[in-house]
Amino acid sequence: MKLKSGKILVVDDNECILRTINQLLKYECEFIRTIKNPNLIQTILEKENFDVVLLDMNFSAGVNTGNEGLFWLDEILKTEKNAVVIMITAYGDIELAVKAIKNGAIDFITKPWDAEKFITTVLNAVKLSQSKRKNEILETRQDQLNQEINKPFENFIGSSEKMKEVFALIEKVSKTDANILILGENGTGKELIAREIHKRSERAQEIFMTVDIASMSESVIESELFGYVKGAFTDAKEDRIGRLESASGGTLFLDEIGNLSLAMQAKLLTVLQNRKIFRVGSSKEIPIDIRLICATNNNIEEMVEKGRFREDLFYRINTIQIQSPALKERGSDIIELAQFYLRKFADKYNKSNLIISKKAQKELLNYQWKGNVRELMHTVEKAVILSDKTELETEDFYLKSKQFSSANQSKKLVDVEKITIQEVLQKHKGNLTKVAKELDISRTTLYLKLKKYEIQ
């Protein structure tokens, strides 16, 4: 069965015309409203949305100047600036119809009309109207996104001196095209820093492309970065664009660049020098224009000294260096972050009015947080899930430094781990690579835990 689409308003003082149009369109459009009196137009448009308005040019007996139609066209466009209006005019009044189009109508239909052409004209107008509406919604959403993007450091929480230094560097380097190297332990928010730099750069309206080197095997990194042509290797069934090419015009973020092999380091260096790539299996040059941001948790200067990272590439990617501070160095930011995640997960799990006791806050401040912000986030989430109290105490956070001796406490820890894995699995829709990364464990360890807890 054909799906009907479009809401149509027909305005004509001829009852016969109204019946004919209704008959023509009732099998094509989902709703048709007909009126004889044009004085009702504004009232109706203020209450209802129509995709298309079919409007006669003349309404008074003996009058055929078309001025009435032009008047009501203007009134409709005052009420609905994006209204899609088709004028109905007598044969021979083409000049008048053209004037109507100049005034804002999108098309005209002459009487007597060809039924098939009439239907086609109306349905095309419906598509145009719906397209205009979608574009308007998208533009509104984009404006809202831009407002969010322009909020100062809205992704960052904390006011410690260490973070103020990071904010200041971001402000200075964002408007340049300098290559940036972000250093820091796992879970400190290196990607957040990279995204913030992109948002504040001249490339903000272009793509931000992330490549997690650590999650790729050596055999696929080249094809992922450079792309390939059909037949380049056994599984190359069709041409594929690589990440470097996709990111052209925007920002490429290479996470864990310290995991890149020496062979791939040499190829990346060539790309940065020549600003062009070759897809795997092709000799065709493809120019690219990227802003490069890299990150690693390795001691990359030590890697250079030991010959495990090319010195020339290090200087290329290290025009500006930003140190992402460990959570233990951020002082009171720990409590600020804990309160943020408490509100977030309290909303998620429908547990209102939760607070963290003063004693627990002190313990959180003194804890070493080897997993940094990521560990803090998971710790707060576990506490929110498992606690039945409104005030969270030290024991609710199951900090690793605490010793648990009772069987009940051991059971709770097992429950915490199982629930956490299930939550992260749901969050990443079963993507085990992402789950393992967020939990900061290897895929092998994750497989064992899935088997242990009988998680499907």
Instruction: State the average pLDDT over residues 297-309.
Output: 94
Neighbours of 79 (CB within 10 A): 13
Per-residue pLDDT tens over the stretch 427-453: 887 888 888 888 878 777 787 788 788
> Do 349 and 424 share a structural domain?
yes
Q: Does 154 fall in a domain?
A: no
Q: How far is the C-alpha of 202 from the C-alpha of 176, rounded, in Å?
A: 8
Number of domains in the chain: 3
Q: How far apart are the first and last CA of the chain?
A: 40
Nearest to 32 by CA among 51, 60, 57: 51
Host H or E run for residue 255: strand 251-255
The more confidently predicted of residues 413 and 389 is 389
- Most distant CA pair in the chain: distance in Å? 99
Q: Does 156 fall in a domain?
A: no
Q: Does 100 fall in a domain?
A: yes
DSSP letter for each residue of 292-315: EEEEESS-HHHHHHTTSS-HHHHH
> Do 262 and 373 share a structural domain?
no
Contact 12, 36 (CB under 8 A): yes
Q: Does 149 fall in a domain?
A: no
Q: How far is the C-alpha of 270 from the C-alpha of 225, rounded, in Å?
A: 13
Q: Does 312 fall in a domain?
A: yes
Domain end point (choices 295, 325, 355): 325
Per-residue pLDDT tens over the stretch 243-259: 899 888 999 999 999 99
258 φ/ψ angles, rounded to the nearest 5 degrees: -65, -15
Host H or E run for residue 21: helix 15-25
Q: Work out the pLDDT band at 408, boundaries 50, 70, 90.
A: very low
> Do 332 and 448 share a structural domain?
yes
What pLDDT is attached to residue 402? 45
Whole-number average pLDDT of the chain: 86
The CATH number of residue 363's host domain is: 1.10.8.60
34 φ/ψ angles, rounded to the nearest 5 degrees: -120, 140
What pLDDT is attached to residue 24? 92
Per-residue pLDDT tens over the stretch 136-165: 656 644 554 454 444 455 457 888 999 999
Instruction: State the average pLDDT over residues 365-379.
Output: 92
Show the tokens assigned to 287: 């120019």
Among 47-51, 365-369, 393-397, the least confident range: 47-51
Q: How far is the C-alpha of 9 from the C-alpha of 31, rounded, in Å?
A: 9
Q: How far is the C-alpha of 353 from the C-alpha of 342, rounded, in Å?
A: 10
DSSP structure class, residue 184: -
What pLDDT is attached to residue 136? 64
> Do 359 and 293 share a structural domain?
no
Q: Work out the pLDDT band at 456, boundaries 50, 70, 90.
A: low
What pLDDT is attached to residue 225? 92
Q: Is the pLDDT of residue 297 over 90?
A: yes
Task: Enumerate residues 6+ apart whose C-beta is below 8 A from 19.
Answer: none
Instruction: State the average pLDDT over residues 385-397.
Output: 90
**Full-model pTM:** 0.56
Contact 359, 394 (CB under 8 A): yes
- Percent of the chain beyond pLDDT 70? 90
> Do 173 and 140 share a structural domain?
no
The CATH number of residue 289's host domain is: 3.40.50.300
Q: Does 1 fall in a domain?
A: no
What pLDDT is attached to residue 387? 86
H runs (alpha helix) in 215-261? 218-226, 243-246
> Do 183 and 258 share a structural domain?
yes
> Do 195 and 124 share a structural domain?
no
> Do 203 and 317 share a structural domain?
yes
What pLDDT is attached to residue 147? 46
Three-class SS state of 258: helix
Q: Is the pLDDT of residue 455 over 60?
A: yes
Show the tokens assigned to 54: 């079919």
> Do 315 and 359 share a structural domain?
no
Highest mean pLDDT among 90-94, 291-295, 327-331, 409-413: 291-295
Domain end point (choices 85, 114, 144): 144
> Do 397 and 259 share a structural domain?
no
Domain end point (choices 116, 144, 172): 144
Three-class SS state of 356: strand
Contact 357, 391 (CB under 8 A): yes
Domain that holds residue 394: 328-452
Nearest to 49 by CA among 74, 80, 75, 71: 80
Per-residue pLDDT tens over the stretch 169-210: 999 999 999 999 999 999 999 999 999 999 999 999 888 889
What pLDDT is attached to residue 404? 40
> Do 88 and 202 share a structural domain?
no
Contact 324, 193 (CB under 8 A): yes
Contact 434, 448 (CB under 8 A): no
Q: Does 262 fall in a domain?
A: yes
Instruction: State the average pLDDT over residues 13-42.
Output: 92
> Do 136 and 269 share a structural domain?
no
Q: Does 151 fall in a domain?
A: no
What pLDDT is attached to residue 139? 62
Instruction: State the average pLDDT over residues 3-12.
Output: 88
Torsion angle of alpha carbons 386, 388, 391, 394, nearest 10°? -40
β-bridge partners, 276: 287
Q: Work out the pLDDT band at 409, boundaries 50, 70, 90.
A: very low
